[in-house]
């Protein structure tokens, strides 16, 4: 029995150490017009072994002498170069310990700037942090944001796995185009609108009585909803104005109740388009966090907001088209039923 217990304990120790050793690093790239931003995510335990000293696991930002030491270490392990061998300029910015991950990781941000005349979308990245001191440590290289490549922060794309000291990988994004970013943001908007929950139900409750009354009214309400959400996205997407999620949900629930009552007994007859505009504003404020999480800036952020709004509008137009078809079918069946009843008598 004693031998069996020792074997079980040994197996558990090996399993734990194997899972800990299998924990790897990540390098997430974000492409900008004239630079590349890199987020480095390094397991704190392995980084401490590589440095040969313990590291604090405090969630506070890393500053002072420790920041300078880590910046020197990481700076010697990041080596982006052009195809003709010219080195890029690398600057390590803020660092912090992410306590929401287990095991805990050090999150560091770096700015990679190409030499004069070189493209920021084509280079060879050399990276061997931790792997130089601990052979076998793997690093996942992924692209988190590339507008011209159609990659948004919601869906990072793995580029390579660096699992050897002085790992190098060629990064070439020159073949992409801005239209890819438009399509990706438009697709994201359509998916977000299709999964909007109570806001989609709100639009449906508004659309049903309007479709029965007049297709023109339904079209006006659809356009008003789209304009309202676009305006809210333009204001809230860059972070200029935000409302707490709880407050938005409460207001949206109240708006849904009013829309349901209006469908039975008109409360704002003649002002449906204005009410639809207000509901669109609510949805735009709720969806602004999705656009803000794309981590874009400048004209790319503006283009992403417009493409995202267009995707939402397309999904909502499909919903309204379906509502109109259902309403037309119901009206047609009702007319045929009324026309058949007198003949039956």
User: What is the per-residue pLDDT across 5-14, written as a single tens digit (0 to 9) for each?
Assistant: 443 433 333 3
Indicate the residue among 143, 176, 209 that finishes a domain.
176
Give the highest mean pLDDT range of 9-13, 18-22, 341-345.
Answer: 341-345
Indicate the residue among 130, 158, 176 that finishes a domain.
176
Q: Are residues 232 and 259 in the same domain?
A: yes
pLDDT digits (tens, 9 = 90+) for 196-244: 777 777 777 777 777 767 778 778 888 888 898 899 898 887 878 777 7
* Helices 198-213 + 215-236 axis angle, to 10: 150
**223, part of any domain:** yes
pLDDT surpassing 70 at residue 42: yes
Mean pLDDT (the chain, rounded): 80
Number of domains in the chain: 2
**11, part of any domain:** no
- Residue 204 CA to residue 279 CA, distance in Å, equals 12
Q: How far is CA 192 from each of CA 60, 185, 195, rounded to the nearest angstrom?
A: 34, 10, 5
Q: Which residues contact 97 (CB under 8 A, 6 or more apart)?
A: 44, 56, 57, 58, 59, 60, 62, 104, 105, 106, 107
Q: Are residues 163 and 202 in the same domain?
A: no
Q: What is the model's pLDDT at position 28?
A: 93
**146, part of any domain:** yes
Contact 44, 54 (CB under 8 A): no
Contact 27, 40 (CB under 8 A): yes
Q: Please give the residue that has the higher pLDDT: either 298 or 52.
A: 52
- Give the range of the structural domain holding residue 143, as residue numbers without chain letter: 23-176
pLDDT surpassing 70 at residue 188: yes
Q: Output the DSSP codes for 168-205.
A: EEEEE-TT--HHHHHHHHHHHHHHHHHT-THHHHHHHH
Six-digit token pair at 45? 């335990």
Q: Are residues 183 and 35 in the same domain?
A: no
Q: Are residues 295 and 166 in the same domain?
A: no
pLDDT surpassing 60 at residue 1: no
Contact 192, 287 (CB under 8 A): yes
Q: Are residues 78 and 166 in the same domain?
A: yes
Which pLDDT band, with edges at 50, 70 and 90, does 335 fall under? Answer: low
Contact 95, 108 (CB under 8 A): yes
pLDDT surpassing 60 at residue 76: yes
**5, part of any domain:** no
Q: Are residues 224 and 90 in the same domain?
A: no
Q: Are residues 250 and 326 in the same domain?
A: yes
Q: Which residues contact 100 (CB under 8 A, 6 or more apart)?
A: none
Indicate the residue among 125, 142, 176 that finishes a domain.
176
**206, part of any domain:** yes
**2, part of any domain:** no
Q: Are residues 170 and 198 in the same domain?
A: no
**169, part of any domain:** yes
Q: Are residues 281 and 144 in the same domain?
A: no
Q: What is the model's pLDDT at position 109?
A: 94
Six-digit token pair at 256? 């849904």
Q: Are residues 186 and 165 in the same domain?
A: no
Contact 126, 277 (CB under 8 A): no
- Residue 97 CA to residue 104 CA, distance in Å, equals 7
Q: Are residues 37 and 55 in the same domain?
A: yes
Strand residue runs (E) in 163-313 = 167-172
pTM, full prediction: 0.70
**3, part of any domain:** no
The lowest-confidence range among 180-184, 260-264, 275-279, 312-316 is 260-264
Q: Are residues 280 and 159 in the same domain?
A: no
């Amino acid at each position: 029995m004693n031998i069996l217990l020792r074997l079980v304990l040994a197996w558990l120790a090996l399993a734990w150490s194997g899972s800990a050793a299998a924990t790897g690093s990540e390098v997430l790239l974000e492409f900008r017009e004239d630079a590349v931003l890199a987020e480095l995510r390094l397991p704190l335990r392995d980084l401490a072994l590589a440095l040969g000293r313990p590291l604090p696991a405090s969630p506070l930002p890393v500053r002072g002498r420790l920041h300078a030491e880590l910046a020197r270490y990481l700076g010697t392990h990041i080596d982006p170069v052009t195809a003709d061998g010219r080195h890029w300029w690398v600057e390590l910015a803020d660092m912090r310990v992410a306590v929401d991950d287990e095991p805990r990781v050090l999150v560091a941000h770096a700015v990679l700037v190409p030499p004069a005349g070189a493209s920021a979308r084509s280079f060879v990245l050399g990276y061997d942090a931790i792997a130089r001191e601990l052979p076998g440590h793997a690093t996942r290289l992924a692209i988190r944001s590339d507008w011209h490549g159609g990659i948004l922060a919601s869906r990072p794309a793995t580029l390579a796995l660096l699992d050897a000291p002085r790992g190098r990988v060629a990064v070439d994004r020159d073949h992409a185009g801005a239209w890819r970013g438009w399509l990706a943001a438009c697709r994201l908007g359509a998916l977000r609108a299709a999964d909007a929950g109570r806001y989609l139900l709100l639009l449906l409750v508004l659309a049903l009585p309007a479709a029965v009354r007049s297709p023109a009214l339904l079209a006006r309400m659809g356009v008003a909803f789209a304009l309202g959400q676009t305006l809210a996205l333009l204001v809230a997407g860059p972070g200029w104005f935000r409302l707490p999620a709880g407050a938005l949900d409460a207001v949206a629930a109240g708006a849904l109740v009013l829309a349901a009552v209006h469908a039975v007994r008109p409360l704002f007859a003649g002002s449906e388009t204005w009410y639809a505009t207000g509901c669109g504003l609510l949805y735009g404020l709720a969806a602004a966090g999705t656009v803000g999480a794309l981590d874009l800036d400048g004209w790319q952020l503006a283009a992403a907001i417009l493409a995202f709004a267009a995707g939402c509008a397309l999904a909502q137009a499909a919903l309204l088209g379906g509502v109109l078809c259902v309403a037309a079918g119901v009206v047609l069946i009702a007319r045929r039923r009324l026309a058949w009843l007198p003949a039956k008598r």
